[in-house]
């Protein structure tokens, strides 16, 4: 019987049997090292999960700040270690809920945050020195981080005690998501200003989470995910160094965000390869001496794009396999998607089941009992090498185009990802790629399901809330603070975050602050749309 040749998600050949010959001439000391030592292939900590599990972080946010606050309290009560905030599209794009551009989108895919009043309500009763908070926000990342700091100060929590992450990865927005505001160069300046501000004000905060996840959701292969993510990270490091910062002063707070697919072996190899590539870049290109600068620390989310609306309970099995891939790959924190996310916002029960999936892996399996369970696997080590080489080739191609920003302006990464997405769609349509419940093992009739829906009246309530805010604040103080912000943005020597913080403290809105920066920096228009 002839076995059909298989390939990985990245198109690399998969052999039916791997043996010692696959690693012939292979130097374990150079390619592996011990756990917690350069090049960190086997994980960034010598004990990994044997001491404590990864951070179980659940991504949530919808409707109003009060509704999201209730969900956060439920997740903490269920044993969650950290919060991960989803913002609605107007907030992500720097518009207030009463802006014409926000119509119909307020509170839909995340929580609406227009001002310090919303942020205060979002974290009401949650001690910010006891939780780690990740915020999935990019173009207006500085604003949301400063609002969080202001609310913490109201709680009496100083900046040095705050822990968490702000995504702050705008380059992937130009590649895969589209929620950008400003052109690339001022966006990079804003990123560098966040690095510098946090070094003195929020020293334990992760200042960026360079994201491959959204590229994967747009159709990127694992090789593309690694290559384009690390190329973006190199661009951020170069920007900060060019701004006068020493690499070891900011690089330890850089983190990453990757997807975990159902193709478990390749995903484990992907995480190992990414750690090894990053360690070498930081040591050899940037001269980083601090081991923490060389460590690729990352958060993982299970693959939303692989969830199906058909037979949604099957997603529980998918998410379990994806979560296992992340854990075997050595993630530092993990969000498990809810099984009903392909239909609508997760219900409370589905979100709790997603968290319970992580808890089963952490407390009922033997996976966390040993560091790097796959070390020495002929299959995984070979796949790691092959994925690393393919990713480095693609990174060289980005570099040959002038680096990540120049390649983005040429549309290179976007085109490559779209080509891969088309390939996947064709394979699925032809039945070569099996999707259980979609093109194989279907039901004649789907069972009814009642999804969670966002109240459309939320938009009107947010508009009323903004009207009261504007009527009750000192308009002169707000305008002066926004003028100071525009002045700082127009120059090149001042960090824009201190005047931005004062504007937000004076109760300027997210839309007003972003609008002031648009006046100075302009807005990004994709190539071909001028």
Cα 338 to chain centroid distance, Å, stands at: 17
Query: Which pTM was predicted?
Result: 0.92
pLDDT top residue among 340 and 455: 340
Task: Determine the pLDDT at residue 500.
Answer: 98
Task: Determine the pLDDT at residue 235.
Answer: 97
Coil, helix or strand at residue 314: helix
CA distance 102 to 114: 11
Provide the mean pLDDT of the chain: 94
Per-residue pLDDT tens digits for 281-317 = 999 999 999 999 999 999 999 999 999 999 999 999 9
Is residue 268 pLDDT above 50, yes or no? yes
Q: In 3-state terms, the chain is what percent helix, strand and coil (to 5)?
A: 50, 10, 40
Task: Determine the pLDDT at residue 2.
Answer: 40
Task: Determine the pLDDT at residue 428.
Answer: 94
Is residue 493 pLDDT above 80, yes or no? yes
Is residue 23 pLDDT above 60, yes or no? yes
Provide the pLDDT confidence category of residue 530 given band limits of 50, 70 and 90.
very low
CB neighbour list of residue 58: distance below 8 Å, 6 or more residues apart: 75, 80, 83, 84, 335, 336, 351, 354, 355
Q: Is the dihedral of CA 213, 226, 285, 43 positive or negative?
A: positive
Is residue 528 pLDDT above 70, yes or no? no
Is residue 259 pLDDT above 50, yes or no? yes
* Consecutive H or E run containing 57: strand 55-60
Q: Which stretches of 141-287 are assigned E, i.e. beta strand?
A: 163-166, 205-206, 208-211, 254-260
Task: Determine the angle formed by the axes of helices 141-154 and 497-505, rounding to 10 degrees.
Answer: 60
Mean pLDDT of 169-177: 95
Task: Determine the pLDDT at residue 3.
Answer: 44
Task: Determine the pLDDT at residue 4.
Answer: 52
Instruction: Report how far apart, in Å, the C-alpha atoms of 127 and of each of 124, 146, 282, 389, 404 are.
Output: 8, 17, 35, 45, 39
Is residue 203 pLDDT above 50, yes or no? yes
* Consecutive H or E run containing 70: helix 65-77
Per-residue pLDDT tens digits for 78-98 = 887 688 899 999 999 999 999
Per-residue pLDDT tens digits for 511-523 = 999 999 999 999 9
Long-range CB contacts (within 8 A, 24+) of 276-284: 276/31, 276/39, 276/40, 276/41, 276/384, 276/388, 277/226, 277/230, 277/388, 277/391, 277/392, 277/395, 278/230, 278/233, 279/38, 279/39, 279/40, 280/39, 281/230, 281/234, 282/237, 282/247, 282/251, 283/38
Per-residue pLDDT tens digits for 8-18 = 999 999 999 99
In order, the DSSP letters of 414-441 are HHHHHHHHHHHHHHHHTTSS--BTTTBS
Coil, helix or strand at residue 160: helix
Per-residue pLDDT tens digits for 233-258 = 999 999 999 999 999 999 999 999 99
Per-residue pLDDT tens digits for 64-80 = 899 999 989 988 888 87
CA distance 224 to 203: 32
- Rounded to 5°, the CA angle 79-83-84 comes to 135
Per-residue pLDDT tens digits for 134-152 = 999 999 999 999 999 999 9
Q: Is 290 exposed, middle or buried (0-12, 13-18, 19+ CB in 10 A)?
A: middle
């Amino acid at each position: 019987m002839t076995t059909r040749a298989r390939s990985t998600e990245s198109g690399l050949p998969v052999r039916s049997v791997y043996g010692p010959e696959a690693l012939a001439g292979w130097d374990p000391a150079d390619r592996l090292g011990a756990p917690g030592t350069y090049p960190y292939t086997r994980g960034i900590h010598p004990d990994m999960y044997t001491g404590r599990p990864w951070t179980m972080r659940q991504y949530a946010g919808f409707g109003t700040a009060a509704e999201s606050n209730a969900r956060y309290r439920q997740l903490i009560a269920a044993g969650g270690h950290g919060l991960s905030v989803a913002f609605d599209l107007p907030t992500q794009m720097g518009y207030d809920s009463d802006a014409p551009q926000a119509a119909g989108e307020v509170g839909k895919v995340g929580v609406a945050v227009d001002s310090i009043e919303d942020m205060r309500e979002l974290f009401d009763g949650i001690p910010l020195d006891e939780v780690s908070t990740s915020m999935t926000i990019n173009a207006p990342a500085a604003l949301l981080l400063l609002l969080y700091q202001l609310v913490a100060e109201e709680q009496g929590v100083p900046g040095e005690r705050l822990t968490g992450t702000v995504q702050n990865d705008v380059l992937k927005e130009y590649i895969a998501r589209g929620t950008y505001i400003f052109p690339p160069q001022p966006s990079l300046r804003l990123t560098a200003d966040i690095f510098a501000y946090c070094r003195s004000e929020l020293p334990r905060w992760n200042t960026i989470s360079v994201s491959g996840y959204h590229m994967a959701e747009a159709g990127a292969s694992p090789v593309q995910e690694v290559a384009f993510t690390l190329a973006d990270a190199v661009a951020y490091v170069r920007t900060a160094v060019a701004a006068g910062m020493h690499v070891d002063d900011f690089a330890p707070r850089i983190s990453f965000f990757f997807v975990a697919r159902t193709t478990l072996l390749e995903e484990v190899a992907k995480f190992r390869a990414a750690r090894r590539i990053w360690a070498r870049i930081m040591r050899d290109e940037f001269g980083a001496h601090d081991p923490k600068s060389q460590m690729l620390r990352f958060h993982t989310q299970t693959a939303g794009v692989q969830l199906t609306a058909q037979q949604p309970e099957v997603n529980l099995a998918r998410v379990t396999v994806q979560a296992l891939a992340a854990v075997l790959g050595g993630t530092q924190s993990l969000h498990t998607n809810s099984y009903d996310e392909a239909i609508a916002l997760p219900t409370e029960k589905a979100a709790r089941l997603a968290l319970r999936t992580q808890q089963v892996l952490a407390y009922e399996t033997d996976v966390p009992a040993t560091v790097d369970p796959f070390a020495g696997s002929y299959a995984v080590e070979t796949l790691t090498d092959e994925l690393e080489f393919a990713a480095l080739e693609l990174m060289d191609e980005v570099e040959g185009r002038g680096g990540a920003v120049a390649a983005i302006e040429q549309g290179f990464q976007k085109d490559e990802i779209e080509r891969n997405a088309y390939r996947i769609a064709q394979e699925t349509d032809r039945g070569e790629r099996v999707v259980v419940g979609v093109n194989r093992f279907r039901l004649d009739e789907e069972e009814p399901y009642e999804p969670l829906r966002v109240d459309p009246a939320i938009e009107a309530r947010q508009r009323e809330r903004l009207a009261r805010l504007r009527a009750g604040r000192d308009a002169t103080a707000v305008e002066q603070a926004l003028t100071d912000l525009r002045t700082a943005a127009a120059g090149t020597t001042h960090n824009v975050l201190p005047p931005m913080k004062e504007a937000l403290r004076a109760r300027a809105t997210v839309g007003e602050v972003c609008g002031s920066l648009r006046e100075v920096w302009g807005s990004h228009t994709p190539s071909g749309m001028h």
